[in-house]
């Protein structure tokens, strides 16, 4: 008999509350002939000790963050503006010292660090996917193609000195070996430095039934309680939290060396809000799992009804998280014949596991379907404005977060 799963943060036991079955690599957009047959069991659990919500089964990082990783952070105008604002904030608040140094974990195509570079600030982006790292380098960003851990952090510290700001966006939640990462941050950080990271927020996932936030690349699902406990284990302290209106709801957490800064009132306010909402309550997590099954059943029913009525259906946005929806619900080309997407790295390929063709978004406007299943729901405002012609032509958007709805 195998040993029961243990929390990767504190070592305590895990209590599973959601089973999403066998899943493919979420960003394995390949040709129909090249698609991988790799599958893993996507099961989500909460730690009975530190409350950290996490995947039970780890996917090898080399399979996910490979040379041809297709996601580009700058692909969305809203996201590009978000990261520019984040860089400006760091430059104004934290980097007004002599010769500051900034390190970003998972810098992707340089959408954040290019603004730091333009300001003449020393920096380093650590990015494991070579193709997107080359895009960052082409913008004048200093990049190292590697995975960040304690050993790399000590090497960087010895060469460049301490970092006044360490930044990560939609990266920390991807890293199962988070203890080594935080030990590296502690080793690299300036005495008065900050580690700012933003990731999908568990409270928003629960409130909106956003079950597609669970996929191979998201190993952890942070709450304020779990981040506070995690920071303390590594000589760090949670000193601020701030909601971010991106990716369906994120929090930006700010950590500093223990005792170096006075925590902002926002920290205790967020903790109290979580207690009131039951974000770490096992019963609340189990109830969430039941709502996921209901949403999935209702989504399939709507698609089957559309097919029976002869209404045309297409999907919009070949997102990584759509892999969870398609494979958990058993949706394939018979219900959704095509997915429209603006990313050249995904066009001409098929969705992971479900085999739905991905085509350029221009085709959406050339021949509107009756119903568009919106996988990129976290960019709904931007997309609806961009595709106003679809609604004007009588088309309906189909969404499944927070509930299944056609409008």
pLDDT digits (tens, 9 = 90+) for 269-315: 999 999 999 999 999 999 999 999 999 999 999 999 999 999 999 99
Instruction: Quickly list DSSP for 156-193.
Output: HHHHH--EEEEEEES-GGG-S-HHHHHHHHHHHEEEEE
Q: How confident is the model at residue 245 (pLDDT cuts 50, 70, 90)?
A: confident
Phi, psi for 351 (deg, rounded to 5):
-70, 140
Instruction: State the alpha helices, DSSP H only, in 94-174.
Output: 113-118, 130-138, 150-160
Global pTM value: 0.92
The pLDDT of residue 73 is 67
Domains, in order of start, for the chain: 73-276 (3.40.50.150), 283-406 (3.40.50.720)
Tokens of 59: 């996917």
- With H, G, I as helix, E, B as strand and everything else as coil, classify residue 320: coil
The pLDDT of residue 210 is 96
The whole-angstrom separation of Cα 172 and Cα 199 is 7
The pLDDT of residue 368 is 98
Top pLDDT among 1 and 282 is at 282
Q: C-alpha distances in angstroms, 295 versus 325, 337, 349, 361, 404?
A: 10, 21, 28, 27, 6
pLDDT at 181 over 90: yes
Burial class (CB in 10 A: 0-12, 13-18, 19+), 393: exposed
pLDDT tens digit string along 114-129?
Answer: 999 999 999 999 999 8
The pLDDT of residue 78 is 85
Closest to 307 (Cα-Cα) out of 328, 274, 289, 332: 332
pLDDT tens digit string along 367-405?
Answer: 999 999 999 998 899 899 999 999 999 999 999 999 999
The whole-angstrom separation of Cα 156 and Cα 147 is 13
Q: What is the number of other CB atoms lying within 10 angstroms of the CB of residue 218?
A: 22
The pLDDT of residue 77 is 85
- With H, G, I as helix, E, B as strand and everything else as coil, classify residue 23: strand
pLDDT tens digit string along 306-355?
Answer: 999 999 999 999 999 999 999 999 999 999 999 999 988 899 999 999 99
The whole-angstrom separation of Cα 116 and Cα 110 is 10
Q: How confident is the model at residue 4 (pLDDT cuts 50, 70, 90)?
A: confident
pLDDT tens digit string along 186-243?
Answer: 999 999 999 999 999 999 999 999 999 999 989 999 999 999 999 999 999 999 999 9
The pLDDT of residue 69 is 54
Phi, psi for 14 (deg, rounded to 5):
-115, 145
Nearest 5°: the CA angle 316, 321, 326 is 70
- Provide the mean pLDDT of the chain: 94
The pLDDT of residue 202 is 97
pLDDT at 72 over 70: no
Q: What is the number of other CB atoms lying within 10 angstroms of the CB of residue 4?
A: 8
pLDDT at 90 over 90: yes
Residues 6+ away with beta carbon under 8 Å from 387: 316, 364, 365, 372
pLDDT tens digit string along 32-51?
Answer: 778 778 999 999 999 999 99
Instruction: Quickly list DSSP for 262-316.
Output: PPPHHHHHHHHHHHHHTTT-HHHHHHHHHHHHHHHHHHHHHHHHHHHTT--EEEE
- With H, G, I as helix, E, B as strand and everything else as coil, classify residue 334: coil
The pLDDT of residue 68 is 58
Q: How confident is the model at residue 11 (pLDDT cuts 50, 70, 90)?
A: very high
pLDDT at 70 over 60: no
């Amino acid at each position: 008999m195998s040993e029961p799963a243990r929390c990767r943060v504190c070592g305590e036991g895990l209590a599973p509350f959601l089973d999403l079955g066998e899943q493919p690599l979420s960003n394995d957009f390949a040709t129909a002939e090249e698609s991988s047959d790799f599958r893993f069991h996507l099961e989500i659990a909460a730690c009975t000790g530190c409350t950290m919500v996490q995947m039970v089964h780890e996917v090898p990082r080399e399979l996910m963050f490979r040379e041809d990783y297709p996601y580009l952070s700058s692909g969305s105008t809203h996201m590009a503006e978000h990261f520019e604002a984040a860089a400006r904030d760091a430059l104004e608040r934290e980097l007004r010292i002599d010769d500051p140094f900034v390190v970003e974990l998972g810098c992707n195509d340089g959408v954040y660090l290019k603004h730091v570079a333009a300001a003449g600030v020393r920096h380093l982006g650590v990015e494991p996917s070579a193709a997107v790292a080359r895009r960052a380098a082409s913008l004048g960003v200093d990049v190292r193609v590697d995975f960040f851990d304690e050993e790399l952090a000590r090497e960087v510290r010895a060469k460049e000195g301490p970092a006044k700001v360490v930044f990560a966006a939609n990266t920390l939640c991807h890293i199962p070996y988070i203890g080594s990462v935080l030990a590296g941050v502690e080793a690299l950080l300036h005495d008065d430095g900050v580690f700012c990271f933003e990731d999908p927020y568990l409270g928003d996932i629960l409130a909106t039934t956003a079950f597609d936030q669970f996929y191979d690349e998201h190993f952890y699902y942070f709450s304020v309680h779990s981040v506070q406990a995690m920071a303390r284990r590594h000589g760090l302290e949670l000193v601020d939290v701030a909601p971010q209106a991106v990716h369906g709801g994120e929090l930006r957490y700010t950590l500093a060396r223990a005792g170096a800064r006075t925590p902002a009132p926002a920290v205790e306010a967020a903790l109290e809000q979580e207690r009131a909402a039951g974000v770490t309550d096992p019963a609340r997590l189990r109830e969430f799992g039941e709502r996921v099954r209901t949403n999935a059943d209702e989504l399939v029913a709507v698609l089957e009804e559309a097919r029976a009525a002869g209404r045309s259906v297409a999907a919009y946005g070949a997102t990584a998280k759509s892999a969870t929806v398609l494979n958990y619900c058993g949706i394939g080309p018979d219900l959704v014949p095509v997915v429209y997407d603006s990313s050249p790295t995904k066009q001409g390929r098929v969705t992971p596991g479900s085999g739905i063709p991905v085509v350029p978004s221009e085709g959406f406007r050339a021949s509107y379907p009756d119903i568009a299943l919106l996988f990129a729901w976290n960019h709904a405002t931007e997309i609806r404005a961009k595709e106003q012609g679809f609604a004007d032509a009588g088309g309906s958007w189909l969404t499944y977060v927070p509930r299944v709805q056609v409008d």
